[in-house]
Amino acid sequence: MKVAVIGLGRMGRAIAGRLLVAGAEVTVHNRTPGAEGELIEAGARAAESVAAAAGSSEIVLTLLSDDTALEAVATGGLCSALQPGAIHAAMGTHGVAAVAALAERHAAAGQRFVAAPVLGRPQAAADGQLGIIVGGAPDAVRACAPLFELIGQRVFDAGGDPQSAAAVKLANGFVLACAIEALAESFSMIRRFAVDPELFREVLTGGLFPGPAHAIYSRLMVDESYDEPGFTTALGLKDVQLALAAADRCALPLPSVGVVRDRLLGAIAHGDADRDWAVLAREQARAAALE
Amino acid sequence: MKVAVIGLGRMGRAIAGRLLVAGAEVTVHNRTPGAEGELIEAGARAAESVAAAAGSSEIVLTLLSDDTALEAVATGGLCSALQPGAIHAAMGTHGVAAVAALAERHAAAGQRFVAAPVLGRPQAAADGQLGIIVGGAPDAVRACAPLFELIGQRVFDAGGDPQSAAAVKLANGFVLACAIEALAESFSMIRRFAVDPELFREVLTGGLFPGPAHAIYSRLMVDESYDEPGFTTALGLKDVQLALAAADRCALPLPSVGVVRDRLLGAIAHGDADRDWAVLAREQARAAALE
Amino acid sequence: MKVAVIGLGRMGRAIAGRLLVAGAEVTVHNRTPGAEGELIEAGARAAESVAAAAGSSEIVLTLLSDDTALEAVATGGLCSALQPGAIHAAMGTHGVAAVAALAERHAAAGQRFVAAPVLGRPQAAADGQLGIIVGGAPDAVRACAPLFELIGQRVFDAGGDPQSAAAVKLANGFVLACAIEALAESFSMIRRFAVDPELFREVLTGGLFPGPAHAIYSRLMVDESYDEPGFTTALGLKDVQLALAAADRCALPLPSVGVVRDRLLGAIAHGDADRDWAVLAREQARAAALE
Amino acid sequence: MKVAVIGLGRMGRAIAGRLLVAGAEVTVHNRTPGAEGELIEAGARAAESVAAAAGSSEIVLTLLSDDTALEAVATGGLCSALQPGAIHAAMGTHGVAAVAALAERHAAAGQRFVAAPVLGRPQAAADGQLGIIVGGAPDAVRACAPLFELIGQRVFDAGGDPQSAAAVKLANGFVLACAIEALAESFSMIRRFAVDPELFREVLTGGLFPGPAHAIYSRLMVDESYDEPGFTTALGLKDVQLALAAADRCALPLPSVGVVRDRLLGAIAHGDADRDWAVLAREQARAAALE
């Protein structure tokens, strides 16, 4: 199968690399040249343009950082060059409006489209351990399945509408954001009562919250370790805004998400945009005059 | 060691039962008679009054449903009858103000006091699998240790101030409450986008949130199973109010907890006070015109 | 008519003074002696105890700072000494629970009770310009009417339940608190866009918001003048907490009031408890990294 | 002076009409034909396109319903046809991002741009009683002054940046939105305590809140009169979203505005998008199980 990967950030490179290891015929393209070096060594073909990458592929995977980039790629060659019947699988985290617009555009061109946002970090992609949430017409989802099985440990079928997959990704994301906010608030309370944060972390993770979300973020909060971000405050805000935009689109009040939004904005106002978003604990501490 | 257990609700009975199995000399008392039957069969002595139970024991465990009950027991014989040097361990979920007041009162009487709220359900107590968060003077904590090891799998030392243990319990509780609220909001979103709730649950629990909090409450929400409560909305509100009262006491903004408070009040207004507090998902659905 | 005024803070003194000017027979009492000097000169009789004041009066007005003080006065002589058929009019700002409890207690003793919280500052009382919100049995309200007309420009009849009058006072209070919070948020926004605060104030007060609430608080915010409090942050929190407690009592979500609560707590955490609660503008500015 | 008015909704027609009465030379254009009839009778010239209207005018006033319409007009002839040195005054309510982008575009073309959003209803425009908030370069503001004095009772100078004028309009708008929400919450509380809503309205408007915002919206809430909208819930949401987008742009937490956003979404979910946004009182009543 001829596959193109457009967008060679860390996730794009990891997915392309995994596909190459699995023997797929992979064309790669990045809007800013320079990211494709190792992939070419591993056997990828570099396309000079989005159109060149899209025109010669049965499935095009995009791994783009935001809706603006996705729109730029779509209108900058992808939609015009993709063959009828070929598939675009958008694997980034995108808003439901962008996904809906793109679905229409591809349908009008006789092309197929799935939203397939991923769960997990680039290393998981390299190891074939991602989760992939897929939404789109059943035939397109089936056509992508062999590919997704190469990179994903588990594929979640969100149904026939690509927007549904986007919504699942955003909802999963805001459950995490709310968990981080709740942790931030809880650590400020136990600090007020002079409790050892490590002790409190053990209560949480030794009991109701042993999973990675609480284990990872409570660790960062106990250590006040925010300067080597796994995921930044700015990116957190972007995802929360996509969730709120989805909520606007379907008239849905999300009060907890609104609280996180304000906390993220406060953190950014205080200069923490590029720190790990566990820094919400510090922002809450500021609000409580603990910093 | 002579132990009294005052307050024979489900947790009190489970703890007393566990102590009897372990061979402790246990006196029991409940404000409303009738709960002590099985415990007497198992070897407990029934005291006719709080004072009678307290006066003859080295350690008195109280398992009371709220601060009002704790205050009533404290002023209704416990503080007057407890021997100097004897220990009162309050194992219910109580507010920091009630705990602070009780600590002062016992100190004035030359008695010892620890707050020792528990984590887990009555069955965990019966199995010796509770978590116990202990706060109090080191000598008192040490004196209680053998007892706590009988009923608890793990003892968390919150430090020398009983209020600290109360705060840890309340903070752990509101992290849970916020998680339930975030789940409620997320399920309303994926319903709006026609996603199968079971699929979404798998995304959550198969990824970042495999622990019991998310597993249990997302299950109840998928099943819309609220009528056999493990923990009711009314009790949830009580705990959230205790957390907010602690926040008032130490001038701490807790915006996420405020959101949960309003959701709980809405659920109660809609008649769901005695349902499992997973019913917050239905209350959120009402707010979104999904019900 | 024989009237007692218990509680000689600024409002109590102003009301007693106004009654004396109008020729009423006034007995006064304050828990802490020393406040009654000028009133005695103006013709008041000083009672040595709550009971002495209450026992000899047809109507007892209490002007107490909070529910604790009201409870202390009620149980410290007022309820025991008041004659059957005599009236207690509680004119402070009190919670609905305290008012309900007091209503029951007076009814049990064959005494009459109205809640009659006031709107306006002490100078308005001295000038007979207060607003008075009255709740209680019609006969009691009628009996108080001549008195209230001396001190109030306008009497608002909230109906037969004293709690209703308390609720009106609290609701009016939180509409003000929310207005102050909204102003605080708006001033932070226009500061971000380099707008002259005085210009923005003119837009507000020259248009939709010419009334005293917005005129007074926007003036203080423009001038950043918080150190000569007309009403402190701490008192603002007290009133907001009473409103939230009333909401708890009747299962009512009040999300805007929850936001104000958190803002007030933040201001207090930052040391502004005793400043004018217009200082919420500074607290919002802190949250936005503008301070 | 040659003036064009583009956008002939109620406000555009009222402004154009006022200018014609004052003797100005007015060209009008609406994207959808048919709105210009009465204006032509009153002496206006109808332009067949945006470009035709813009190319022959010294000042172009746009009165457009949202940023999308403004963008469409700007790129659909306005920016290309406007003479160098001519002025575009955007008088609708627009977001700061749209205003900033338009300012750049006009500057690049050597044209002048001011943001001049209005305060007041169409009738106020017809009567020359509008408020106008102006932001832009001083020479452009000066050039517009004679025109603005014809239609506005008062011009507020927000400074040299058009974004500032937009921000003032949005901030004024959200202070109103928050006031409506606070009123909605307060009416639900007094309903719970069986208070006559009319009585409560008198307390508010007879005291701290006599101005039009509280007078108008409390009247609608007392009368539960939502079906002849002065301003709809959908438009309210649009303005609140613009305010939140401005807050995103400058990293500003606005928690009260977030609360209003959720309430508006809830109202829209319940089918009240096209009712007067005083219907937030009904939405709050739903949340409190009062409906």
The alpha-carbon gap from D162 to the nearest alpha carbon of chain C, in Å, equals: 10
Q: Please list every residue in chain D whose beta carbon sits closer than 8 Å to the beta carbon of residue B255.
A: 255
Residues of A carrying an active site annotation: 169
Q: How many CB atoms lie within 10 A of CB D85?
A: 12
Judged by a CB distance cut-off of 8 A, whether residue B181 touches chain A is: yes
Distance CA C46, CA C35 (A): 10
Asked whether the beta carbons of C27 and C56 are under 8 A apart, the reply is yes
Those residues whose C-beta lies under 8 Å from the C-beta of residue B138, and which sit 6 or more positions away, are B160
In contact, D81 and D52? CB cutoff 8 Å = yes
- Out of A245-259, A263-277, B162-176, C119-133, least confident range: C119-133
Residues from chain B that touch D289, judged by Cβ atoms under 8 A, are: 266, 269-271
Contacts A–D by Cβ distance under 8 A: 47
Tokens found for residue C85: 């058929």
Each domain of chain A, given as residue ranges in start order, spans 2-160, 167-287
- One pLDDT digit (tens) per residue for chain A, 291 residues: 899 999 999 999 999 999 999 999 999 999 998 888 899 999 999 999 999 999 999 999 999 999 999 999 999 999 999 999 999 999 999 999 999 999 999 999 999 999 999 999 999 988 889 999 999 999 999 999 999 999 999 999 999 999 999 999 999 999 999 999 999 999 999 999 999 999 999 999 999 999 999 999 999 999 999 999 999 999 999 999 999 999 999 999 999 999 999 999 999 999 999 999 999 999 999 999 998
Asked if B132 reaches chain A (Cβ–Cβ under 8 Å), the answer is no
In chain B, which residue's Cα lies nearest the Cα of A182? B175
Question: What's the pLDDT score for residue A176?
Answer: 98
**What CATH architecture applies to the domain D167-287?**
Orthogonal Bundle (1.10)
pLDDT tens digit sequence for D238-265: 999 999 999 999 999 999 999 999 999 9
Residue % of chain C over a pLDDT of 90? 94
CA distances from A276 to A230, A270, A279 (A): 6, 14, 6
> Which residue in the set C255, C266, C289 is minimally distant from A269, CB to CB?
C289
pLDDT at C34: 83
Mean pLDDT over C53-58 rounds to: 96
Please state whether beta strands A130-136 and A112-115 pair in parallel, antiparallel, or not at all (unpaired).
antiparallel
Paired tokens of C36 = 């009654």
Q: Residue A177 in contact with residue A237, Cβ under 8 Å? A: no
C38 membership: H or E segment, kind and range = helix C37-41
User: Between chains, do D241 and A248 touch, taking CB under 8 Å as contact?
Assistant: yes
Tell whether D161 lies on the interface with C, counting CB pairs under 8 A. Answer: yes
Instruction: List C-alpha distances in Å: D60 to D25, D55, D83, D107.
Output: 12, 9, 11, 15
Q: What pLDDT is attached to residue C36?
A: 87
For the CA atoms of B184, B190, B196, B197, the dihedral, rounded to the nearest 10 degrees, stands at -10
Chain C CA closest to residue A256: C255
Question: According to the 3-state scheme, what is the secondary structure of D44-65?
Answer: CEECCCHHHHHHCCCEEEECCC
Burial of D112 (0-12, 13-18, 19+ CB in 10 A): buried
The active-site residue, picked from B94, B106, B112, B169, is B169
Q: Identify the pLDDT of residue A243.
A: 98
Whole-Å CA distances, A281 to A39, A101, B245? 39, 37, 21
Question: Which chain B residue has its CA at the smallest distance from A96's CA?
Answer: B193
Tell me the average pLDDT of chain C. Answer: 96
CA angle, D89 then D94 then D95, to 5°: 125
The CATH homologous superfamily to which domain B2-160 belongs is NAD(P)-binding Rossmann-like Domain (3.40.50.720)
Tell me which of A169, A252, A261, A286 to substitute to probe the interface with B (most B C-beta atoms closer than 10 Å).
A252
Tens-place pLDDT, residues B207-239: 999 999 999 999 999 999 999 999 999 999 999
Largest CA distance in chain B: 65
Percent of chain D with pLDDT over 90: 94
Are C26 and C43 in contact by the 8 Å Cβ rule? The answer is: yes
Is some CB atom of chain C closer than 8 A to the CB atom of B16? no
Q: What is the pLDDT of residues C271-283, one digit of tens each?
A: 999 999 999 999 9
Beta pairing class for C59-62 and C45-46: unpaired
Among chain A residues, CA nearest to D269 = A251
Is residue D204 predicted with pLDDT exceeding 90?
yes
- Kindly report, residue by residue over C77-104, the tens digit of the pLDDT: 999 999 999 999 999 999 999 999 999 9
- The answer to whether the beta carbons of residues D170 and D135 sit under 8 Å apart is no
Q: Does B108 touch chain D (CB under 8 A)?
A: no
- The pLDDT tens digits for B36-68 are 889 999 999 999 999 999 999 999 999 999 999
Interface contacts A/C by beta carbons within 8 Å: 19
Write the pLDDT tens digit of every residue in C146-191: 999 999 999 999 999 999 999 999 999 999 999 999 999 999 999 9
**Segment A221-253, tens digit of pLDDT:** 999 999 999 999 999 999 999 999 999 999 999
Question: What pLDDT sits at residue D251?
Answer: 98
C271·A289 Cβ contact <8 A:
yes
pLDDT band at C35 (very low <50, low <70, confident <90, very high): confident
Min Cα separation B266/chain D (Å): 6
pLDDT digits (tens, 9 = 90+) for A174-228: 999 999 999 999 999 999 999 999 999 999 999 999 999 999 999 999 999 999 9
Interface contact D270-B255, CB threshold 8 A: no
Average per-residue pLDDT for chain B: 96
pLDDT of residue B36: 87
The answer, for D269 touching chain B at a CB cutoff of 8 Å, is yes
Q: Provide the pLDDT confidence category of residue B145 given band limits of 50, 70 and 90.
A: very high
